């Protein structure tokens, strides 16, 4: 079996490459399904998913049986300033992959986001809730979802949120750096969501890909949804940093793209099919911090 990972240098792509390459994750052994599989891991420099000719040639050469599309334009404010670019990477790119997968009989695992919802909910969103994105990023990702579902029968859409991993920039790493530079931090406390470890997401994706399931799946870490402020406090506490974390509102910290106030997702489809293997966000974060801080010490 040949497995293609696009966006392989990103947070999630990197973690997937690691576990599929090693055959094991921090979460456990990978299913036998992955034995003797060949991993083809590429980023935009080797395969730009926005070019259908490039995607077609790549498929003709490597003949992947399973594709994890981790490529995306993830800079939410950057997308707001350039919706055409966002659409190209987050909608046309997945469409090109979906069309090629359908033609070659390959399975496609595509990653999407909580930003497809309007953020006005009062209970966690489930897969059957109607999307209503408020941002260019959310609109482009929703278009990508729809292209994938329409173009490739053997596909899964996996919506995640508030992602952090060992490689790349994310909230956890940024806060650790800022905490060491400053005596105090100010973090919004009126946006609520599910912090999600790339370790757990990659593991869950590997399990889902090995199943026969198709359709939309929410894949975030479990436990009660939290604000960025509460997330920040947990990071400080577990990293042993005695830094005050002050609260502010979204209105006090305006950004080009409107952030959803409440974007918690419930992994209902996973729970009702192959099982929900995502840990509680606190457990996943604590484990990430132990490993990440140890890596830092060794460098």
Ligand X SMILES: NC(=O)c1ccc[n+]([C@@H]2O[C@H](COP(=O)([O-])OP(=O)(O)OC[C@H]3O[C@@H](n4cnc5c(N)ncnc54)[C@H](OP(=O)(O)O)[C@@H]3O)[C@@H](O)[C@H]2O)c1
Residues in the chain: 299
Q: State the nearest-atom distance from the C-beta of 218 to ligand X, in Å.
A: 11
CA 162 to chain centre: 8
CB atoms within 10 A of CB 156: 23
HSE-CB of 232 using CA atoms within 13 angstroms: 25
Q: State the nearest-atom distance from the C-beta of 73 to ligand X, in Å.
A: 6
7 near ligand X, rule: CB under 6 A? yes
Q: Which is nearer to ligand X, 160 or 227 (CB)?
A: 160
Closest C-alpha to 186, from 195, 175, 194, 177: 175
Query: Which helix (H) or strand (E) segment is 110 a member of?
Result: strand 107-113
172 near ligand X, rule: CB under 6 A? no
Residue 257-276 contact track with ligand X, rule CB under 6 A, x = bound = --------------------
Whether the CB-CB separation of 140 and 87 falls below 8 Å is answered with yes
Q: Which is nearer to ligand X, 34 or 166 (CB)?
A: 166
Q: Which of residues 128-157 bind ligand X (CB under 6 A)?
A: 141
- 3, 4, 6, 87: which one contacts ligand X (CB under 6 A)? 6
Stretch that binds ligand X, among 8-16, 33-41, 59-67, 282-290 (CB under 6 A): 8-16
Instruction: Point out the residues that are catalytic.
Output: 137
12 near ligand X, rule: CB under 6 A? yes
Q: State the nearest-atom distance from the C-beta of 199 to ligand X, in Å.
A: 12
160 near ligand X, rule: CB under 6 A? yes
Q: Which is nearer to ligand X, 34 or 138 (CB)?
A: 138
Q: State the nearest-atom distance from the C-beta of 88 to ligand X, in Å.
A: 7
CB atoms within 10 A of CB 255: 12
Q: Which is nearer to ligand X, 174 or 184 (CB)?
A: 174
**Strand-pair partners of 155:** 108
Stretch that binds ligand X, among 9-17, 31-39, 98-106, 232-240 (CB under 6 A): 9-17
Runs of H (alpha helix) within the chain: 11-22, 52-62, 76-81, 83-87, 93-104, 136-151, 171-181, 198-209, 228-239, 268-272, 281-298
Whether the CB-CB separation of 214 and 156 falls below 8 Å is answered with yes
Q: What share of the chain is helix, strand, coil (3-state, %, to 5)?
A: 45, 20, 35
231 near ligand X, rule: CB under 6 A? no
Q: Which is nearer to ligand X, 195 or 289 (CB)?
A: 195
Instruction: Return d(Cα 82, Cα 91) in angstroms, integer.
Output: 14
Tokens of 229: 């402020």
Q: How many residues bind ligand X (CB under 6 A)?
A: 27
Q: Which is nearer to ligand X, 45 or 184 (CB)?
A: 45
Tokens of 196: 């999600």
- 9, 139, 173, 269: which one contacts ligand X (CB under 6 A)? 9
The overall longest dimension of the chain from CA atoms, in Å, is 56
89 near ligand X, rule: CB under 6 A? yes
Q: State the nearest-atom distance from the C-beta of 122 to ligand X, in Å.
A: 21
Please report, as ranges, the residues that interact with ligand X according to CB under 6 A. 6-7, 9-13, 43-44, 48-50, 70-74, 89, 93, 111, 113, 141, 160-163, 168
């Amino acid at each position: 079996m040949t497995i293609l990972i696009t966006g392989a240098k990103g947070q999630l792509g990197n973690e997937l490459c690691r576990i599929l390459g090693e055959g094991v994750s921090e979460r456990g052994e990978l299913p036998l399904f992955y034995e003797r599989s060949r991993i083809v891991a590429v980023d935009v420099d080797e395969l730009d998913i926005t070019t259908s000719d490039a995607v077609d040639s790549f498929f003709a050469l490597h003949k992947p049986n399973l594709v994890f599309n981790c490529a995306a334009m993830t800079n939410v404010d950057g997308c707001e300033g350039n919706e055409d670019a966002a659409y190209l990477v987050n909608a046309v790119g997945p469409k090109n992959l979906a069309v090629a997968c359908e033609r070659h009989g390959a399975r496609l695992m595509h990653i999407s986001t909580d930003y497809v919802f309007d953020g006005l909910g009062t209970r966690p969103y489930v897969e059957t809730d109607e999307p209503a994105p408020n941002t260019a990023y959310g609109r482009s990702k929703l278009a990508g979802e729809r292209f994938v579902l329409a173009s490739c029968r053997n596909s899964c859409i996996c919506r995640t949120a508030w992602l952090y991993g060992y490689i790349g920039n994310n909230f956890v790493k940024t806060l650790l750096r800022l905490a060491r530079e400053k005596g105090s931090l100010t973090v919004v406390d009126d946006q609520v969501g599910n912090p999600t470890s790339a370790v757990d997401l990659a593991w869950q994706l590997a399990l889902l890909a090995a199943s026969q399931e198709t359709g939309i799946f929410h894949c975030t870490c479990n436990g009660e949804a939290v604000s960025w402020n509460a997330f920040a406090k947990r990071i400080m506490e577990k990293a042993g940093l005695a830094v005050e974390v002050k609260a502010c509102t979204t209105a006090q910290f305006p950004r080009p793209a409107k952030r959803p106030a409440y974007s918690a997702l419930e992994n209902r489809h996973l729970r009702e099919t192959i099982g929900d293997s995502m840990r509680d966000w606190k457990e996943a974060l604590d484990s990430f911090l132990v490993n990440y801080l140890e890596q830092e010490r060794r460098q």
